[in-house]
Amino acid sequence: MTRLIHKIPITRSTYRHGDLKRALLETSVMLARDGGPDALILREVTRRVGVAPNAAYRYFASRQALLKAVQSSALALMAVFIENETAKLPSELTAVDFAFANLRAVGTGYLKFAQAESGLFRVVFAIVDDVDPTQVNGDDLEPFQLFRAALDQLVDAKVLTTENKISAQYFVWSSVHGLATLILNGSLNHMTHQQVKVLEQKLFDRIEKGL
Amino acid sequence: MTRLIHKIPITRSTYRHGDLKRALLETSVMLARDGGPDALILREVTRRVGVAPNAAYRYFASRQALLKAVQSSALALMAVFIENETAKLPSELTAVDFAFANLRAVGTGYLKFAQAESGLFRVVFAIVDDVDPTQVNGDDLEPFQLFRAALDQLVDAKVLTTENKISAQYFVWSSVHGLATLILNGSLNHMTHQQVKVLEQKLFDRIEKGL
DNA sequence: TGTACATCAGTGAACGCGCGTTCACTGATGTAC
DNA sequence: TGTACATCAGTGAACGCGCGTTCACTGATGTAC
């Protein structure tokens, strides 16, 4: 009896973990937060969870599959960052002004996520050499969709035509994503945080002009 | 005598290599062409050159230093791609038209390099956790400079003010670089090559509009 | 022109490291009677 | 309520792999006399 009590491990009180899949995924996300895709090391994940290295294989077919799962989580978190910004929008604007403000909000959330969660951002855009397509979760959010609602509003506000919407969407995405990657790869390291902020605003100005 | 002849290795006829530094760098570039920064494996480089694994250390302080050297080579090649495009420009244009055409040419070269030499493109923007700063080659070309001449022409042609030049330069760079990375990370894999070409042109249209 | 010698480019062997994945398994658990 | 049993979540051990870097060295070369 007492023996049993002493044998209770810190991280696990039952023989079966009970929630190993979730634990593996959450730990994987933590690792990826700190070091990006390369920091997702299967053995390290299982070590932290307190389980044998091969235990992960009951829930994920391979490291790739686990990375794919982290990718989904990261993208969902990115969407939350964006929603946090769009939620702040004042409602007493004209449709046109609101649509533009919304676009800026989405871009701001995108850039904030890239900077606050650079590891996860890099995971989102890491190349995952095709995971078994039968395993692909069809209703996964796609990064391309993040700007969609904002662009739809611009169409509704007659700022954009329907024909131009797609190319506008790629234009906005490229510009914002490009700035995000330049920030992350250190190309803007000579600037202060404040200067980067100013640059972001000027980028949005030019994006609006270019639509 | 005959013994000596038989002992001549295929890749080396003298005891001293004679040009090992160049051979190491060139082989490194080949590896990086095929697989990006992660494919730059010291032991593989020396294996291909036909030299002991540690021989590289006479010329490069570490793998990082070698990667840095490859980065310089890659950036120089990128500049060549851009010059190849700008060289094609017709000369009988007005200053304004020429400046815009030049900007497109630079962007086109940038995107062509990214697609034709994706491994080297990734090396250029790979994070190199600070190499010893006393070793840094001060006159290394910076990616940011690639668009500089085109923007200068736009200032000369009075399309841009001097104050706006810098932010315009980052706008152009972000947009083009962003599209390049989206193409490379597979975000546009659902498109045909032709569709991507069209998208590039529409991006340039919007960039011009946004200046 | 020939010899002695110092230089330093490249060697050989090893260190310490850690990874992803497979195999045959064990034993706590929940279930059926 | 108590017992027999099948399930399957997690184990233990190993495979095969290759990396970057350090150390003490050797011996072909170019140079000085």
Q: Please, which pLDDT band fits residue B14 given cuts at 50, 70 and 90? A: low
Which residues fall within 8 angstroms of residue A22, CB to CB, at 6 or more apart? none
Instruction: Choose among A155, A178, A167: nearest CA to A100.
Output: A155
8 Å CB contact of A173 and B182: yes
- Give the CA distances from residue B192 to residues A148, A163, A180, B197, B198, in Å, rounded to whole numbers and listed in that order: 21, 19, 26, 9, 10
- A175, A206, A208 ranked by CB distance to B178: nearest: A175
Query: Is the Cβ atom of B26 within 7 Å of strand D at any atom?
Result: no
Quick one: tokens of B115? 């697609």
- A170, A185, A206 ranked by CB distance to B171: nearest: A206
Please check whether residue A78 is in contact with residue A113, taking contact to mean a CB–CB distance below 8 angstroms: yes
One-letter amino acid of A101? A
Tens digits of pLDDT across chain A (211 residues)? 222 222 223 345 555 677 899 999 999 999 999 999 999 999 999 999 999 999 999 999 999 999 999 999 999 999 999 999 999 999 899 999 999 999 999 999 999 999 999 999 999 999 876 655 555 566 677 889 999 999 999 999 999 999 999 999 999 999 999 999 999 999 999 999 999 999 999 999 999 999 9
Number of CB atoms found within 10 A of residue A105's CB: 21
One-letter amino acid of A202? K
Each residue of B91-130: pLDDT tens digit?
A: 899 999 999 999 999 999 999 999 999 999 999 999 876 6
Q: Within 7 A of a protein CB, which nucleotides of strand C?
A: 8-14, 18-24, 27-29
Q: How far apart are CA B108 and CA A110, in angstroms?
A: 26
Q: Residue A141 has what pLDDT?
A: 75
Q: Which helix (H) or strand (E) holds B107?
A: helix B95-116
Q: How far apart are CA A21 and CA A28, in angstroms?
A: 11
For chain A, say whether B13 makes contact (Cβ under 8 Å): no
Number of CB atoms found within 10 A of residue A46's CB: 20
How many residues can be counted in chain A?
A: 211
Quick one: tokens of B91? 């000369």
Compute the C-alpha angle B93/B94/B99, nearest 5°: 85
Q: How far apart are CA A196 and CA B39, in angstroms?
A: 32
Please check whether residue A50 is in contact with residue A16, taking contact to mean a CB–CB distance below 8 angstroms: no
Instruction: Choose among A96, A128, A119, A111: nearest CA to A208.
Output: A96
User: Is residue B7's pLDDT more than 60?
Assistant: no
Q: Which residues of A touch B176 (CB under 8 A)?
A: 174, 178
Each residue of B135-187: pLDDT tens digit?
A: 556 667 788 999 999 999 999 999 999 999 999 999 999 999 999 999 999 99
Q: How far apart are CA B174 and CA B210, in angstroms?
A: 13
| Burial of residue B144 (number of CB atoms within 10 Å: 0-12, 13-18, 19+) | middle
Report the nucleotide nearest the CA of residue B21, measured to C1': C9
One-letter amino acid of A152? D
Each residue of B39-53: pLDDT tens digit?
A: 999 999 999 999 999
For chain B, say whether A209 makes contact (Cβ under 8 Å): yes
First and final C-alpha spacing in chain A: 72
Which residues fall within 8 angstroms of residue A90, CB to CB, at 6 or more apart? A101
DSSP notation for B4-58: HHHH--SS-SSSS-SSHHHHHHHHHHHHHHHH-GGG--HHHHHHHHTS-GGGGGG
- A176, A185, A210 ranked by CB distance to B209: nearest: A210
Q: How far apart are CA A116 and CA B23, in angstroms?
A: 42
